[in-house]
Structure 1
Amino acid sequence: MEKHNNVVHRLRLKVQARRIARRALPFVASLFLATPLAGPVRSSQAHGQASSVRIPAPSPVALLSQGTRQLYDELNLQAQGLSFQVFEKAYTGYLNLRAEGKLDPTRQLLTVADFSLPSTEKRLWVLDLGQKQVLFHTLVAHGHNSGENMATNFSNQNESNMSSLGFYVTDTEYVGKHGRSLYLDGVDTGFNDNARDRSVVMHGADYVSEDFIKQNGRLGRSLGCPALPLDQYAEIIEAVGGRTCLFLNGNDPEYQSQYLDTDEAARTYASLGSSGQAV
């Protein structure tokens, strides 16, 4: 009788165990599904090896953007009042002009005049991109009919007496009515390509000075030329003459340029390397 009772007891325990297992199975399954499977081991200290993870290479445009920001910082241009947005446009045009062979490849000079700033501020920069140096930072005048202290109107027309925005390539020197002067060739069709016929040149003028600002509250104005201070113009002309890039920036929503093509500039930048030298 005792043996029979033991058998019955064991059967009851088995039945209870199966019931508990059936009730617990859904819970255990949910825990299993919610737990991520262990991934493959990516490194092994024992063998001194690590599996590599392929990271997509940055696009040429992204590399250009990074390089432009680095160059801007190395030149310390923010502290000198040149905005990154204006420098980015100027550098893009510089690269595209260089790709077309319009610039002297042995000289990495970029001159920027920002006519979105008032004439009372130093708004012209001559940059040596190779040496990462600001060679000049000075005043520059805009055209008489472009505005008073602020330049708000721009034209490519003869006798407009306005400044013309866009990219220029400097040419040779000559001596004219303003003394030592520098020819400029505008390369933006419809915006500044009439510069030669208009006699838009770089020259010095006595109305570009701190004294003139103190007396009049603004600089004097030219007939459309980017006129420079008398105590610096000769040095600047000497430095930038002979196929270097000049960019005149201003607030004109209609301005556009083929030389602001970032894709083409990115290809040129990639071919030059981080130093800006041809490789």
Structure 2
Amino acid sequence: MFQKVIFCLFFLFIPLNRAAVNTVANSPFTSSDPVSELAVGEQLFEEMELGGTVNFIAFRQAVAGYNRIKEKNKPILTLIDFSKPSTEKRFFVFDMEKKKLLYSSVVAHGRNSGENYATSFSNQYGSYKSSLGFYLTENTYQGGNGYSLILNGLEKGINDKAKARSIVVHGAPYANPSVAASGRLGRSLGCPALPTKLARPIINTIKDGSVMFIYANNPHYLAQSNILHKN
């Protein structure tokens, strides 16, 4: 089992070039199609011209999970990249059919996950930490933080308590870019909080059954993910 985990980590954290595509034929990330899931992610990354904007490894993992989640209702993929600081744009929304980046924004993380960088994650109620992994978006509601979007965590033990913890997408003044002048955005109670002006249009784009992936350079998550390691 240990050797299998190391093997998977090796392929996720090295750049993939076209000459290497055939070498991953027996990887756990290879689908039944002739072209591996890793190669699909690489091709999309190039076609969408995301270099210099989006983390390639984060995008590749997001695409692999997106393709495996059959319950999705729309061709929209959201990537939150917590390997980036809160002062940088790290919330990305993609139209997977049109192969287009629709939105990029700053986003706040949980107050106990870290300062400018999110480095600690939890699935526990009251932790006030962000949770990694794959989600499906659900319906919207008007709550204490205004217009909000319910998230259904798909990975047991990693983010499946998101709904019970009221982890939702919402807008917040502390997530506005002007706050970052102090050295970091404000922080939430674990929710991915967006700038006030962007929250509604983004929520309306991703609501009702799209895939969201919250990424960090976190070997523990990678070893435990039941979606990235699904056979």
TM-score computed with the length of structure 2 as normaliser: 0.83
- For 1:220 and 1:127, the matched residues in 2 are separated by 25
Instruction: State how far apart, in whole Å, the 1-side matches of 2:34 and 2:167 are.
Output: 34
**Is 1:237 the counterpart of 2:206 in the alignment?**
no
Q: What is the match of residue 228 of structure 2?
A: 260
Shift of 1:68: 1.8
Shift of 1:75: 1.3
How far residue 74 of structure 1 moved from its aligned partner, in angstroms, is: 1.3
Q: 1:62 offset after TM fit, Å?
A: 4.1
Alignment partners' CA distance in 2, 1:64 and 1:235? 30
How far apart in 2 are the matches of 1:136 and 1:180?
18
CA contact (8 A) 2:103 2:202 kept: yes
4+ runs of 1 displaced by more than 4 Å? none
Cross-structure match for 1:138: 105
2:118 pairs with 151, 155, 165, which one? 151
Q: Higher helix proportion, which one? A: 1
Distance 1:150 1:230 in 2: 21
Secondary structure of the 2:214 match is strand
For residues 61 and 190 of structure 1, do their structure 2 counterparts lie closer, same or farther at Cα, with a shift above 3 Å needed? farther
Residue in structure 2 matched with residue 202 of structure 1 by the alignment: 169
CA distance in structure 1 between the aligned counterparts of 2:157 and 2:196, rounded to whole angstroms: 31
What does residue 166 of structure 1 align with?
A: 133
2:138 and 2:149 in contact (8 A); partners too: yes
Alignment CA distance shift 1:61-1:218 (3 Å): farther
Cα distance, 1:76 vs structure 2: 1.4
Task: From 74, 77, 82, give the equivalent of 1:110.
Answer: 77
Does the aligned pair in 2 maintain the 1:111–1:126 contact within 8 Å?
yes
Structure 1 residue aligned with 2:41: 68
Correspondence 1:1-279 to 2 at 5 A: 59=25, 60=33, 62-80=35-53, 82-98=54-70, 102-104=71-73, 107-214=74-181, 216-255=182-221, 256-261=224-229, 264=231
Amino acid at match of 1:77: L
CA distance in 1, matches of 2:34, 2:160: 28
Report the counterpart of residue 28 of structure 2 in structure 1.
Answer: none
Q: State the Cα deviation string for residues 219-239 of structure 1 (Å, max 9, x = none).
A: 000000000010100000000
Answer whether contact 1:96 1:261 (CA < 8 A) is retained: no
Give the Cα separation in 1 of the matches to 2:135 and 2:48. Answer: 22
- Aligned pair count reads 200
Q: Structure 2: where are the runs of 5+ without partners?
A: 1-21, 26-32
Query: What CA distance in whole angstroms lies between the structure 1 residues aligned with 2:34 and 2:218?
Result: 25
1:61/1:162 CA distance change after superposition, 3 Å = farther
CA contact (8 A) 1:212 1:218 kept: yes
How far did residue 73 of structure 1 move? 0.9
Aligned partners of 2:112 and 2:120 also within 8 Å: yes
Q: Structure 1 residue 258: deviation in Å?
A: 1.7
Q: Does the 8 Å CA contact 1:169/1:244 hold for their aligned counterparts?
A: yes
Aligned-residue RMSD, C-alpha: 1.6
Residue 142 of structure 1 aligns with an amino acid whose one-letter code is H
Structure 1 residues without counterparts, runs of 5 or longer = 1-55, 265-279
In 1: Cα distance, 2:56 partner to 2:110 partner: 25
Structure number with bigger Rg = 1
Q: Could you report, residue by residue, the CA deviation over 1:47-80 in whole angstroms, capped at 9, with x for unpaired residues? A: xxxxxxxxx9x95364433322111111111131
Aligned residue identity for 2:69: L
Instruction: Give the % identical residues.
Output: 44
